[in-house]
Chains A and B, each alone.
Chain A
């Protein structure tokens, strides 16, 4: 079983639409990170959330950490083709700063 379940797995939308992707777990975490990966590249950090209920905004992207710190969501307003990519959530597990990743949501935004 996956520690982090992401949904949906795939999402294809048109430019200008809004969308939300989810990262869920039955475990409690002290922090959670979101990464975006573009084709042929490695993932790049978007945001880190550390407090239950925390909301962070990055331009058109809004990230929320659940009150119980078991889940998180990423909302994109007015999606653009440049938002296309694989969105991954990740949490620290065990010692030595190891990150465990979810399976990701693959987003495609078309004109």
Chain B
């Protein structure tokens, strides 16, 4: 029972490089989300997806790209990393059946440092 897994857990990169963070869930949840967590800002939504091939922007989407060709995978790409994108990134999923009160299940996070 793997649940929701993120990789890599830790990544150091340089400004301007492309970075992809992977997210995989085994529950076939319809909804998937990417959040970033920074001190003083809490968790902020980057992108979300309601189903395969359906994605939409959150409040801090600039500089990020997502795709969802399969229900279980939701990779997040930083096209040209900047220092301001240094953060801890969390992937999460939610079942459609849960509705607005359904539980959000989180991965363990990916800590990204951009030098």
B-binding residues in A (CB < 8 A): 2, 30-31, 33, 35, 40-45, 48, 50, 88, 90, 92, 96-104
Contacts and interface: CB of A to CB of B under 8 A. Distances in A.
B3 to A, nearest CB: 10
Interface residues of B, number: 27
A14 B98 CA distance: 37
Contacts of B100: 30-31, 92, 97
Contacts, number: 61
A103 B25 CA distance: 26
Contact of A97 (B31, B35, B42): B31
A42 B101 contact: no
A64 to B, nearest CB: 17
B33 A42 contact: no
A42 B90 contact: yes
Interface string B25-52: 0000001010100001111110010100
